[in-house]
Amino acid sequence: MTTSISNAAYQAYEKRLMKEIRENPVPQHLAIIMDGNRRYAYEQGMPAVAGHIKGKNKLEEVTDWCRELGIKVLTVYAFSTENTRRTEDEVNMLYRLFEESFLKVLTDERVHREHIRIRVIGKRDFLPEGLKEAIDRAEKSTENYDNYFFNIAVAYGGREEILEAIKEIAREVKEGKIEPDDITEEMFSQHLYTADLPDPDLILRTSGEVRISNFLLWQMAYSELYFTDVYWPGFRKIDFLRAVRSYQMRKRRFGR
C-alpha cells in the first residue's frame, strides 16, 4: 500500500514538472558527464561490469527523454583518455560494450525513424580496430540525418581537443593560408570536434562529484552547470526533469 502511494506521488510530481518545463524554452544542447557506474555496482553488491551495462541502458532512456522534451543535441562523456589507465580487463570490457552499442545503431528502429545522427568525438587512434570500424559504420548509416544529434565522447579529453585545434591552426598559419590576426573565437571553434554544433546550454554531471573532468573545456564557457549526487545508473526521469527546470529557472532569473 505504501509503495503504491509513493509511486502515485512520484508520477504526479513528474507530471507537474513536465507541464512546467513544457511552458518554457528547453536547452538546445545538453551535455552529460555520466559518472558513478562502478560505485553504483559496488553499493549494490554487483561486479563493475553490471554497473556499466546498467549505465548503457540508462543512456538509451535518457535519449528518449531528450527527444520527448525537444532537446535536439545530446553530447555524453562516455570514456575519457584517462579511463584508458584502468585495468586491462575493464577497458576491454568497455570497448566491447561500445562496439555492441554502435553496431546496434545499424538496426535501431528509433534511430532511423527519428533521424538521429550519431557521431563520436575523441582520439580514435586510441581505440581497437573493431570498435573503430563499428563507429564508422554507425556514423555512415546516420550521416544524412538532422532531426537530432547524438554525440558520444570516447577516448576524449578537452585539453587534447584544444591542443589539436591549436596545432591545426598553426599549420595553416605556417602554410600561409591564414594570418595570425585572422584567428578569432569563431575560427578556433571551427577547428574543434563540435565545429558545426551549438555550445552546450546545460552541462549535467551525476554521482556527486563537482568538477568538469576535462570535458568540453572551450565549449562550456557560458554553459549552465548542474550537479546531482545520484549515480548514473540510478538517474531517474524526475532527476532529469529537475535539471532542466533548474536551467530554466536560472535563465528566467537572469533574464537570459
51-108: per-residue pLDDT in tens? 999 999 999 999 999 999 999 999 999 999 888 888 899 999 999 999 999 999 999 9
**What pLDDT does residue 3 have?**
60
Answer whether 195's CB lies under 8 Å from 23's CB.
no
Homologous superfamily of the 26-157+201-253 domain (CATH): Decaprenyl diphosphate synthase-like (3.40.1180.10)
Helices and strands (H and E) in the chain: how many: 9, 6
- Rounded to 10 degrees, the C-alpha dihedral 37/38/39/42 comes to 120
Backbone angles phi, psi at 195, to 5 degrees: -50, -40
User: In the chain, pLDDT over 70 holds for what percent of residues?
Assistant: 96
| Whole-number average pLDDT of the chain | 94
Are 225 and 203 within 8 A, CB to CB? yes
In the chain, what are the domain boundaries? 26-157+201-253
**254: pLDDT strictly greater than 90:** no
- What local confidence, expressed as pLDDT, does residue 239 receive? 97
In this model, does residue 137 exceed pLDDT 60? yes
DSSP sequence for 100-140: HHHHHHTT-HHHHHHTEEEEEES-GGGS-HHHHHHHHHHHH
Q: What is the pLDDT of residue 85?
A: 85
Q: What is the pLDDT of residues 156-181, one digit of tens each?
A: 999 999 999 999 999 999 999 999 99
Which residues are annotated as catalytic? 35, 83
- What is d(CA 173, CA 254) in angstroms, rounded to the nearest whole number? 40
Residues with Cβ < 8 Å from 82, sequence gap 6 or more?
157, 214
Name the pTM for this structure: 0.94
